[in-house]
A = this chain, B = another copy of it.
Amino acid sequence: MKTPVPDYLASVLARCDANDGGALADYIPELAHADPNKLALALSTIDGEIYSAGDDQYEFSIQSMSKPFAYALALQHHGIEKVLEKVGVEPSGEAFNQISLDSHSNTPKNPMINSGAITTHSLIPAETGELRAEKLRAFLSEMAGRELSFDEEVYQSELKTAYRNLSIGYMLRTVGVLESDPVDIVEGYIRQCAIKVTVKDLARIASVFANGGIDPHTGKCMLDRMVVRQVLSVMISCGMYDAAGDWLTTVGIPAKSGVAGGILGVLPGQVGVAVFSPKLDEHGNSVRGIEIMERLSQDMGLHLMEGTPSAQTIVQGIYYLDEQKQIRVYELRGVLQFTETEMLLRTIQQEPDAPHSIVLDLSHITLIHDVGRRMLLEGIDRLIDDAHEVLVVDPDGLFKAETTDLGHEVKHYANIQAIPH
């Protein structure tokens, strides 16, 4: 049997094929010459499985889809507080042009409009615009699993008509949000927008965000969870339209579009997606891209508010290890956040009082959050107070490794050891 998922994606593309609306971006000659019929879609699960359909090998410039990644780099380097001093997180509303600043703070309203993105670019830790663009290219290449390159023609073409961005740059320099030559910063920002990607690259990069910052292919932590949370929060409220509420209700996937025709989406805990089709609507979003995102949301239930309950699956099984019923095993599966740990503890609390050993088998746990660790430690304390012996099977060291750092009292630790499965 072959999984039908690729066929689903192909059929989504096929249904959009008839949609002939929109027009090529006209303000950059290079983009105006794009092939309007290109159409591609890719989807990556958070464990790294990638499905794709259409022109999935076709490279296009990343454009504004670079904004959330530059924001992520800035947040990772400076911390959220520092970046907030320079760029806000509020939707810009219906402002007809994006030059205006927040009237109280005199800073850009969010990192997804050009003024915020130029500021964000300036916060990538490197000396010049060229080096900052290179730093972003390297970061995206690592997540994409291949060396990405710049589209030099697009870069040169955009440089020539960069009036709006230069206007924004000088304005940001006036108010002190930018602290050095705005021309270098604007040129670096334009170069950042010229990184070439395919939908498969983007879906793969997006899956790192869907997976809380950990690259599913390498297991490497690329970004702190708090950075990912911040980036995705800003994408959902400021990423797509002036009309944030419309996108949130009808699609409900944190997303960002680029003027070359790409749209990138991240549904946390579930999937990363990317689409490409060059014809744009009046907001500068890919017409077919929007339609595909809507189908993914409506037909496939991919929406932020379609919460998937995971608590009920945390306890995979409960059984006695021995015939005397002296050793009782809790086989766990999934991740331990608040709701899963609450369910686990609620189940354990029905354990009879008689003194016997309890084994918590974490072999199939893939992630333990802080709150899960703290709650689990507290639960183990209480079991010990009730005269149980507790053993933890933790082959990957998820639990042990970090709990010692937390300075938890050592006396309980004597009892917690891995037992062979």
Residue of A171, A306, A316, A346 with highest tally of chain B CB at under 10 A: A306
Verify B45–A267 contact, CB threshold 8 A: no
* A337 CB contact (under 8 Å) in B5, B100, B301: B301
CB of A328 closer than 8 Å to a CB of B: no
CB of A17 closer than 8 Å to a CB of B: no
CB of A58 closer than 8 Å to a CB of B: no
Interface string of A359-379 (1 = CB under 8 A from B): 000000011011110010011
Q: A387: shortest Cβ distance to chain B, in Å? A: 10
Contact residues in B for A164 (Cβ distance below 8 Å)? 170-171, 174
Verify A307–B167 contact, CB threshold 8 A: no
Verify A334–B307 contact, CB threshold 8 A: no
Verify A348–B110 contact, CB threshold 8 A: no
CB of A300 closer than 8 Å to a CB of B: yes
Q: A174: shortest Cβ distance to chain B, in Å? A: 4
Verify A348–B1 contact, CB threshold 8 A: yes
Verify A171–B167 contact, CB threshold 8 A: yes
Q: For chain A residues 308-358, which have a beta carbon within 8 Å of chain B?
A: 308-314, 316-317, 333-335, 337-340, 342-343, 345-346, 348-349, 351
CA distance A144 to B270 in the complex (A): 32
Residue pairs across A and B with Cβ atoms less than 8 A apart, 22 shown, are A1-B379, A3-B379, A4-B379, A5-B342, A46-B311, A90-B93, A96-B103, A97-B101, A99-B171, A166-B167, A167-B168, A229-B303, A233-B249, A233-B304, A234-B245, A237-B248, A254-B305, A268-B305, A268-B306, A269-B306, A271-B339, A301-B372
Q: Given A3-B345, A91-B244, A171-B171, list of 10 further CB < 8 A pairs?
A: A1-B383, A88-B245, A90-B93, A167-B171, A212-B307, A233-B304, A269-B306, A270-B339, A301-B338, A304-B304
Q: A48: shortest Cβ distance to chain B, in Å? A: 12
Residues of A whose CB lies within 8 Å of any CB of B are 1-5, 7-8, 45-47, 49, 88-91, 93-94, 96-97, 99-101, 103, 110, 163-164, 166-171, 173-174, 182, 210-212, 225, 228-230, 232-234, 236-238, 243-246, 248-249, 252, 254, 267-271, 299-314, 316-317, 333-335, 337-340, 342-343, 345-346, 348-349, 351, 366-367, 369-372, 375, 378-379, 382-383, 385-386, 388
| Oligomer copy total | 4
Asked, given contacts A5-B345, A170-B163, whether A308 binds B308 with beta carbons under 8 Å apart, the answer is: yes
CA distance A400 to B164 in the complex (A): 57
Closest to A344 in B: B3
Contact residues in B for A244 (Cβ distance below 8 Å)? 90-91, 237, 244
Closest to A46 in B: B309
Verify B312–A333 contact, CB threshold 8 A: yes
Asked, given contacts A303-B229, A312-B47, whether A243 binds B90 with beta carbons under 8 Å apart, the answer is: yes
CA distance A246 to B174 in the complex (A): 26
Verify B229–A3 contact, CB threshold 8 A: no
Residue of A170, A317, A382 with highest tally of chain B CB at under 10 A: A170
